[in-house]
Amino acid sequence: MLVVTSLSRSYGDFKAVNQASFSIARGEVVGLLGHNGAGKTTIMKMLSGYLEPDEGSIVVDGVDLSADPATIQRGLGYLPESLPLYPELSVVDYLDYAAELKGLEGEAKANELRRVVRETDLKDKLLAPISTLSRGYRQRVGVAQAILGQPRLL
């Protein structure tokens, strides 16, 4: 499912990730562990297509991320440490926007929105502006957007 080969990324003279290689099979659950500054966030940003590696390759289901990032990103669920929420949007508007970014439309989108709202217990907060939510509810919104579309890779 996911094959990472010789992944490297530098910030100026600082080598944040140096020749990382690993593979993850379908259904496998893994953790990315390391001390502060070890490159965990940099690896996740590269895996999600938000940051290009200096060297190496990322292949998801046989598709090279550098060749077709949009396709990979639509099948990816990612919950970064600080989720870029839009505070002026209501929960439902934000999730609708996230669903559109993932290519969901029509009845499929409506069904997915109902599913993630149910699974994250957000029904009572759908019309609330994100700016008014507690940290815990903001995290639920983040989880909801990450699982939208039942991504192949979460």
Q: What is the pLDDT of residues 8-34, one digit of tens each?
A: 999 999 999 999 999 999 889 889 999
Residue type, 54: D
pTM, rounded to two decimals = 0.79
Residues paired with residue 8 on neighbouring β-strands, in sequence order: 55
- What superfamily in CATH does domain 2-74 come from? P-loop containing nucleotide triphosphate hydrolases (3.40.50.300)
Residues of 66-85 as b/e, b for ≥16 C-beta within 10 angstroms?
eeebeebbebbbbeeeeeeb
Q: 40 CB contacts (<8 Å, ≥6 apart)?
A: 32, 33, 34
Q: What is the pLDDT of residues 97-147, one digit of tens each?
A: 999 988 899 999 999 999 999 999 999 999 999 999 999 999 999 999 999
Q: What is the pLDDT of residues 58-105, one digit of tens each?
A: 999 898 999 988 888 888 888 877 777 788 999 999 999 999 988 899
Domain ranges of the chain: 2-74, 91-147
